[in-house]
Amino acid sequence: MNDPVPMKAIRHLAAASLCLGLAAPLAAQEPPAQLPGLGVDRDGVSVLGVSSGGYMATQLAVAWPERFAGLGVAAAGPWACARGSLGLALGQCMATRRGMPDPAELQNRYQGYRQRELVGDPEALAELRVFVWHGAKDETVTPSLGRALAEQFRDWLASPDDQLRFVESEEAGHGWPLAAPPGTPVDALADCRAGGGTHLLACDLDIAGEMLGWLHGDLEPPEPGEPRGELVRFDQSDFDARGLGDTGYLFVPTGCEDGGCELSVALHGCAMDVEQIDEAFVRHSGLNEWAAANRRVVLYPQAETSLPNPQGCWDWWGFAESTWQLDPLHDSRQGSQTGALMAMIERLQQAPDTN
């Protein structure tokens, strides 16, 4: 792995970015720079995700609970639901025509992983703060699966009444709900109930603020207008794993270049990567506004489409491991994508070079 980019190169990284204005034509973009060390706080990290990104966020939090303060999940089901099987992913973890996942079987998988040190310490897991959201009209991931995820964490958390919040929105479908501020492009939004398109649901629900507020306490509200900071592209090739795209995104609030800010990792869902919906999620999720107001860097890693993964999903059923593992360990510390994502976090936690 290459050394982190010197902080004097942050200007080049910003110049190579798409910033916060209109996207430059792809042909005119400079190659993305390396992901920089930003000296982000190691104690205030949260991981958030929607759909397949929600499944992946949970995999990260269970594998490395001591590295996270909070977990936020939208439109996804319980940890290890697919257990390395595409058939289970489709038939029991999206639709439930094969029945609901068996909590005892999932707990047995967890205990087996724990004995092999493939997941983190249960005491660290018990200290997480967790926010789970699901749309009651979700026809992609059955709403009962979101409830199952909440119940799974209710059994794991030390004080679930204080640490866990579950929200189900009656008229919402599948996706990431938001309260779009004035100026949000119409084509960046999807119908609250029907979903589709960008999967950014115009539900008049600021899920970004709800999640971050629950996970990190009272936050300063966003200021009107565009968030103060830079949205930059970075080269993901340093973090090689099957299914990762070439380029990721990073929102750096003004003043965070020299360290001391906190970090949230935001994982898009299937069909929500930049290849398929351009920059809709990385620009209009609502996370950047809250991040700018509260000195919080946002990392937007990107998955890619491929023959085994045509929708550009994060690996929550084992496709990235199945070519060499009979029992894929994608949902453990040995998962190739989980390892790559943790390496990105570690890079951002390295001290900035201010020379």
pLDDT in tens, 310-327: 999 999 999 988 665 667
pLDDT in tens, 149-189: 999 999 999 999 999 999 999 999 999 999 988 788 989 99
Residue 198, pLDDT above cutoff 60: yes
pLDDT in tens, 207-264: 999 999 999 999 999 999 999 999 999 999 999 899 999 999 999 999 999 999 999 9
In whole angstroms, give the CA distance from residue 15 to residue 300: 18
Instruction: Categorize the per-residue pLDDT at 354 as very low, low, confident or very high, splitting at 50, 70 and 90.
Output: low
Residue 21, pLDDT above cutoff 50: no
With beta carbons less than 8 A apart as the criterion, state whether 145 and 77 touch. yes
pLDDT in tens, 102-146: 999 999 999 999 999 999 999 999 999 999 999 999 999 999 999
Residue 15, pLDDT above cutoff 60: no
Element (H, E) at 234: strand 229-235
Answer positive or negative: Cα dihedral of 143, 55, 195, 193: positive
Q: Which pLDDT score, from 0 to 100, does residue 180 have?
A: 85
Strand order, beta sheet including 70-74:
164-169, 129-135, 70-74, 46-50, 262-267, 296-300, 247-253, 229-235
With beta carbons less than 8 A apart as the criterion, state whether 250 and 37 touch. no
Answer positive or negative: Cα dihedral of 281, 282, 283, 284: positive
Residue 19, pLDDT above cutoff 50: no
pLDDT in tens, 2-12: 333 333 444 43
pLDDT in tens, 30-60: 788 999 999 999 999 999 999 999 999 999 9
Nearest to 71 by CA among 80, 62, 81, 84: 62
Find tokens 């060499």 and name the residue.
324
Q: Which pLDDT score, from 0 to 100, does residue 323 have?
A: 62
Nearest to 34 by CA among 233, 190, 320, 179: 233
Q: Which pLDDT score, from 0 to 100, does residue 24 have?
A: 38
Mean pLDDT, rounded, for 14-29: 39
pLDDT in tens, 57-94: 999 999 999 999 999 999 999 999 999 999 999 999 99
87 Cβ partners below 8 Å, 6+ apart?
Answer: 98
